[in-house]
Amino acid sequence: YDALRRTRGDGNCFYRSFMFSYLEHILETQDKAEVERILKKIEQCKKTLADLGYIEFTFEDFFSIFIDQLESVLQGHESSIGAEELLERTRDQMVSDYVVMFFRFVTSGEIQRRAEFFEPFISGLTNSTVVQFCKASVEPMGEESDHVHIIALSDALGVPIRVMYLDRSSCDAGNISVNHHDFSPEANSSDGAAAAEKPYITLLYRPGHYDILYPK
Amino acid sequence: MEATAKYNRGNPAVKRILQEVKEMQSNPSPDFMAMPLEEDIFEWQFAILGPRDSEFEGGIYHGRIQLPSDYPFKPPSFMLLTPSGRFEIQKKICLSISNYHPEHWQPSWSVRTALVALIAFMPTPGGGALGSLDFKKEDRRALAIKSRETPPKFGSAERQKVIDEIHEQMLSRAPPVPQLLTNETNEETNQLPASDASDEHAHKAVGGVNTAGSNSDSVNNDLPRPDSESEIVQHIVEGRTEGVSNHSRANLSRENIPRVAPTPQNPVVAIQKPKHDRLLTLAAFGLTLAIMALVIKKFFKINGLAGYIEGKF
């Protein structure tokens, strides 16, 4: 790996890392098809939350601010921004927190939509129901993320994520390799192309924290 | 302040609060009423009706809500102005929805959901929480009757105007304090003290059934009711948030233990066999075993560090 980008360790680091890594990817690739695909996914998530009984005005602000960021990294119109400005934007407390909350809503909606799939993991983790888990561990700001959150966000948006783990599990083997796990929406994706794609978001996990990694 | 408020319309918090004001006005609830001051949109005055089938029934309780500047990421603070026997007046109250517990607050909640939760919290025991009281039922009923007579006096003239306006509208909607029920309750209290608890449980069960019934039967006809009732159901869940958080924390601490446990098991296993043999022959070699254990631990640490260093390259 070439480089590491640190994120603030306040419990929202997974979402912040994902946000910056994804927006930077769009900025570099200018992949308009990907932007259109994810906008459709976002509309689906919005419908899911409405079906689950959330009042729309409580979450539509979060969605619209992320969509603004997404459209502004595409070049060719007045509100386009470069890499420097993207960094400034994501450092803005307000923008950053709104996008983090957007991801939290997307994650919560996905977990509740597929409650039968996630329930065994949640029961083993916290001994509570799916709805209680979402209200206690997903939606509040500052709650740390685990496998369940990563699977749900990856599936909901159709974005593959690779996580490199620097924890004690890699020491037991006695070799110098580092464990990693690819969270791919393969199993549930309706788009065959997205499933086959190599993960373009890579995060480094050390116990209690996520940072962004840049492959060689 | 008006100029400042208008200037800050670009502020997401102001935008969110304006949305809530519109939503409150377009979907009024019979159980509560709330509106912000004209000069400061971050301060609201509210009034709630005492929950039905409780000693607070028929009472009109006023209060103030202070929204933070970074709402909805931080919770508001709540202060009751009408004596109720459940919450102290003119003192911020401690609930899972108030600013005493910012870690429990969720941006998907709103002023409406907070007020529904407040109504639901009234019959619960205070349990010594900040700003909570535990008066007797008779005293609470007396306070409920008294609360209808005059609204509380608080703050500036503009605030008082808003309070009076809210009080008038609540009076026109609210049924009176049930006198007959008071007498019946007194009789029940004298004869069977436990019957009150059973009544409350029965009421909760009936409430649940009503919610399900109304949702299935009148979804199209009565739009406002399903909203408020579903919110009440939400808050039954939300009332358990603290318990869930405690479970989460306990599990987090449990998760840490298994990670540490596998490591010492290996040296322990290695030590036990030679220990068993040598103990039978020479007890004096105990010190040697201790030294071997230390060496093994250092060996594992060196391996770990090597793994980390090479992982970063």
Q: Is the confidence at residue B103, as pLDDT, over 80? A: no
Which one-letter amino acid corresponds to residue B126? Answer: G
Q: Residue B279 has what pLDDT?
A: 59
Query: Residue B264: enclosing H or E segment and its boundaries?
Result: helix B262-281
Question: How is chain A split into domains, by residue range?
Answer: 9-158
Q: Is the confidence at residue B16, as pLDDT, over 80? A: yes
Is residue B186 less than 8 Å (CB to CB) from chain A?
Answer: no
Confidence label for A159 from pLDDT (cuts 50, 70 and 90): confident
Q: Residue A202 has what pLDDT?
A: 86
As a whole number of angstroms, the distance between CA B286 and CA B275 comes to: 8
For the segment A68-111, what is each residue's pLDDT rounded down to a tens digit?
Answer: 888 888 766 656 778 877 887 787 777 888 899 899 889 999 89
For the segment B36-63, what is each residue's pLDDT rounded down to a tens digit?
Answer: 987 788 889 899 988 878 888 889 998 9
Is residue B6 less than 8 Å (CB to CB) from chain A?
Answer: no
Per CB-CB distance under 8 Å, the chain B contacts of A136 are: 241, 244-245, 248
Among B21, B42, B56, residue whose Cα is nearest residue B178: B56
Confidence label for A175 from pLDDT (cuts 50, 70 and 90): low
| Pairwise pLDDT comparison (B142 vs B3), residue with the higher score | B142
Computed over every residue of chain B, the mean pLDDT equals: 65
As a whole number of angstroms, the distance between CA B249 and CA B238 comes to: 17
How far is the CA of A8 from the CAs of A13, A27, A195, B166, in angstroms? Answer: 6, 22, 30, 45
A31 touches A74 (CB < 8 A): no
Two structure tokens written together for B151:
């609204």
Measured in degrees and rounded to the nearest 5, phi and psi for residue A189 equal -85, 135
Positive/negative CA dihedral, A93, A97, A98, A100 = positive
- CA-nearest residue of chain B to A129? B244
A115 Cβ contact list (under 8 Å, min separation 6): A130
B157: burial class by Cβ within 10 Å (0-12, 13-18, 19+)? exposed
Two structure tokens written together for A55:
């009042």
Q: Residue B178 has what pLDDT?
A: 66
Q: Which residues of A are catalytic?
A: 10, 13, 209
For B251, the closest of A61, A97, A126 (CB atoms) is A126
For A176, the closest of B106, B237, B307 (CB atoms) is B307
For A61, the closest of B12, B230, B263 (CB atoms) is B12
Q: Residue B47 has what pLDDT?
A: 92
In this predicted structure, which of A55-59, A185-189, B136-140 has the lowest mean pLDDT?
Answer: A185-189
Measured in degrees and rounded to the nearest 5, phi and psi for residue A183 equal -95, 105
As a whole number of angstroms, the distance between CA B10 and CA B4 comes to: 11
A interface test, pick of B244, B251, B266, B308 with most A CB neighbours within 10 Å? B244
Other CB atoms within 10 A of residue A155 CB: 24
Q: Is the confidence at residue B3, as pLDDT, over 80? A: no
Q: Residue B191 has what pLDDT?
A: 34
How far is the CA of B109 from the CAs of A58, B243, B296, in angstroms? Answer: 7, 19, 54
Computed over every residue of chain A, the mean pLDDT equals: 79
User: pLDDT > 90: what percent of chain A?
Assistant: 5
Q: Residue B20 has what pLDDT?
A: 85
For the segment A9-47, what is each residue's pLDDT rounded down to a tens digit?
Answer: 878 889 989 989 998 888 878 787 888 788 888 988 888
Is residue B246 less than 8 Å (CB to CB) from chain A?
Answer: no
As a whole number of angstroms, the distance between CA B97 and CA B120 comes to: 12
Is residue A17 less than 8 Å (CB to CB) from chain B?
Answer: no
Pairing of strands A161-165, A201-206: parallel
- B36-40, long-range: CB within 8 Å, 24+ apart, which pairs? B37/B158, B37/B159, B37/B162, B38/B2, B38/B158, B39/B1, B39/B2, B39/B5, B39/B158, B40/B1, B40/B5
Positive/negative CA dihedral, B283, B284, B288, B293 = positive
Record: contact B103-A140, CB cut-off 8 A: yes
Structural domains in chain B, CATH included, are: 10-171 (3.10.110.10)
Record: contact A131-B237, CB cut-off 8 A: yes
User: pLDDT > 90: what percent of chain B?
Assistant: 2
| Pairwise pLDDT comparison (B290 vs B301), residue with the higher score | B290
Record: contact A139-B237, CB cut-off 8 A: no
Per CB-CB distance under 8 Å, the chain A contacts of B99 are: none
- DSSP secondary structure, B165-229, as one string: HHHHHHHHHPPPP-HHHHHHHHHHHHH-TTHHHHHHHHHHHHHHHHHHHHHHHSTTT-SHHHHHH
Tell me the shortest Cα–Cα distance from B203 to chain A, in angstroms: 24
Which one-letter amino acid corresponds to residue B66? Answer: Q
Q: Is the confidence at residue B6, as pLDDT, over 60? A: no
B135 touches A170 (CB < 8 A): no
| Pairwise pLDDT comparison (B193 vs A115), residue with the higher score | A115
For B230, the closest of A53, A131, A133 (CB atoms) is A53
Report the pLDDT averaged over residues B197-217: 32
Q: Residue B239 has what pLDDT?
A: 39
Class of domain A9-158: mainly alpha
Locus of tokens 């793994």? B307
Q: Could you tell me if residue B176 is left (phi over 0), alpha (psi between -120 and 50 degrees) or otherwise beta?
A: beta
- B163-170, long-range: CB within 8 Å, 24+ apart, which pairs? B163/B45, B163/B47, B163/B62, B163/B81, B166/B33, B166/B34, B166/B35, B166/B45, B166/B46, B166/B47, B166/B62, B167/B47, B167/B60, B167/B62, B169/B33, B170/B33, B170/B47, B170/B49, B170/B60
Eight-state DSSP code of residue A136: I
A3 touches B312 (CB < 8 A): no
Report the pLDDT averaged over residues B230-239: 38
As a whole number of angstroms, the distance between CA A132 and CA A210 comes to: 25
For the segment B281-295, what is each residue's pLDDT rounded down to a tens digit?
Answer: 666 667 777 787 878
Q: Residue B190 has what pLDDT?
A: 36
Q: Is the confidence at residue B114, as pLDDT, over 50? A: yes
As a whole number of angstroms, the distance between CA A156 and CA A44 comes to: 9
Note which residues in 179-208 of chain A have CB less than 8 A from chain B.
none
Is residue A132 less than 8 Å (CB to CB) from chain B?
Answer: yes
Per CB-CB distance under 8 Å, the chain A contacts of B300 are: 171
Alpha-carbon Rg for chain A in angstroms? 17
Record: contact A140-B109, CB cut-off 8 A: no
Query: Residue B49: enclosing H or E segment and its boundaries?
Result: strand B43-49
Q: Residue A78 has what pLDDT?
A: 59
Helix/strand number for chain B, H first, E second:
11, 4
